[in-house]
Amino acid sequence: MNRAFNFSAGPAVLPYEVLQEASQAALDFNGLGMSIMEMSHRSKEYEAVIKEAQADCLKIMNLSEEEYSVLFLGGGASLQFYMVPANFLINKANYVLTGVWAKKAAKEAKFVGNTNIIASSEDKNFNYIPKNIQVEQDADYVHITTNNTIYGTEYKENHIPDAGNVPLVADMSSDLFAIQRDFSKYNLIYAGAQKNIGPAGVTLVVIKKSWLEKGRKELPTMINYETHVKENSMFNTPPCFPVYVVGRTFKWILKQGLEAIEANNYKKANLLYDFMDSNSDFYKPTVTDKEDRSLMNVTFNLNTPELEAKFIEEAKKRHNMTNLKGHRSVGGVRASIYNACPIEWVEALVRFMEEFMKENK
């Protein structure tokens, strides 16, 4: 099959071998004569699927099932913006604003209670990661967004805020399992699947059990984490097919290891950033501080919006390079190069960038 060079920010490219496995399971799962989408989520076969995915998730994160629960929920990361404060915001919460999604998370928290913005990069259009953040030690939790798809910034591990004794919560939707992290630092991690771990329609939540015990008890059933932990994500029908694909993607990640995945992601990103830095009179990365640059979403501008539009059009027309248009709120160009994006795609993009520059300089 002739695959497009898909640089979409999400739903994003998936590992080809996972797509092949999923296509077979969509027709006949494990020789049962029915699709994975037709099976009862209460069947022992499907129970094995979800339990294996949960176990593999913790294995990747080097966390124990005695300490952490893995949930597969609906509603996207956007629902987590509200669920987190609904369960844990008692007195006040701290938020760090590094982009649109972080702002939306803070906005939802304000419906629940007192929310303090302890750092923000909005003063420079979110083109950097705030450093040396002081977390209020009497806060119920501090919330960060580790990667910012629109603006192309990302927390590297050495700039994760020191939360002290305050529970740390992270939206890792767009860089989960892209780099090695100490996941034990976090009391709760959530991620919409459609960037690095699976298709749209399921949200991963990893929560520390000891913290869950301290959360609110009187909550509507569906937004109470205890509901879903107690029922092992089966209180209602889960997004069965997306969970299966996430589970297969976890196998793909385990086979490579996070160290190798991180090394490959740096290699891909550096191909693009190094080329642009060497040709900065033509290609201008939106994030100038190199340590803050995202490995997942490479955002840049050309000298005029007209030239950017021509670049995007020519990339599609000549080489079937798709989804290079920047987010509608900021414009420009964006190449999203998640885990499953082959390095050959990035090499092809750099060759086109060089070709386009020579023709239009």
Is the whole model's pTM more than 0.75, yes or no?
yes
142 with 95: CB under 8 angstroms?
Answer: yes
Q: Report DSSP letters for 309-360, one per residue.
A: HHHHHHHHHHH-EE--BPPTTT-SEEEE--TTS-HHHHHHHHHHHHHHHHHH
To which residue do tokens 């709120």 refer? Answer: 329
Same fold for the pair 16-256 and 257-360: no
Active site residue 195: yes
| Residue 156 in tokens | 């590297």
| Residue 297 in tokens | 């979403």
Q: Which residue among the candidates 56, 101, 103, 211 is catalytic per the annotation?
A: 101
Ramachandran angles phi, psi of 93, nearest 5°:
-130, 150
To which residue do tokens 């070709």 refer? Answer: 355
Q: Which residue among the candidates 103, 175, 195, 345 is catalytic per the annotation?
A: 195
- Strand order of the β-sheet with 142-145 is 68-73, 203-208, 188-192, 168-171, 142-145, 92-97, 114-120
Active site residue 175: no
Question: CA-to-CA distance for 176 and 191, rounded, in angstroms?
Answer: 7
121 with 129: CB under 8 angstroms?
Answer: yes
Q: Report DSSP letters for 207-222, one per residue.
A: EEHHHHTTS-SS--GG
pLDDT at position 1 is 67
**What homologous superfamily does CATH list for 257-360?**
Aspartate Aminotransferase, domain 1 (3.90.1150.10)
pLDDT at position 361 is 82
pLDDT at position 238 is 92
Kindly list the domain boundaries of the chain, sorted by start residue. Answer: 16-256, 257-360
What is the architecture of the domain spanning 16-256? Answer: 3-Layer(aba) Sandwich (3.40)
Question: CA-to-CA distance for 65 and 226, rounded, in angstroms?
Answer: 15
Residue type, 32: L
Give the three-state DSSP class for 50: helix
Cis peptide before 15 (omega within 30 of 0): no
pLDDT at position 329 is 87
| Residue 247 in tokens | 């589970």
Paired sense of beta strands 203-208 and 68-73, if any: antiparallel
For the chain, the distance separating the N- and C-terminal CA atoms, rounded to the nearest angstrom, is: 35
Active site residue 252: no
Q: Determine the distance from the C-alpha atom of residue 275 to the mean position of all C-alpha atoms in its chain, rounded to a whole number.
A: 25
Q: Which residue among the candidates 140, 171, 175, 292 is catalytic per the annotation?
A: 171
- Calculate the alpha carbon distances from 32 to 36, 39, 243 in Å: 9, 9, 18
HSE (side-chain half, CA atoms, 13 Å) at 86: 15
Written as tens digits, the pLDDT of the chain (361 aa) is: 689 999 999 999 999 999 999 999 999 999 999 999 999 999 999 999 999 999 999 999 999 999 999 999 999 999 999 999 999 999 999 999 999 999 999 999 999 999 999 999 999 999 999 999 999 999 999 999 999 999 999 999 999 999 999 999 999 999 999 999 999 999 999 999 999 999 999 999 999 999 999 999 899 999 999 999 999 999 999 999 999 999 999 999 999 999 999 999 999 999 999 999 999 999 999 999 999 999 999 999 999 999 999 999 999 999 999 999 999 989 999 999 999 999 999 999 999 999 999 999 8
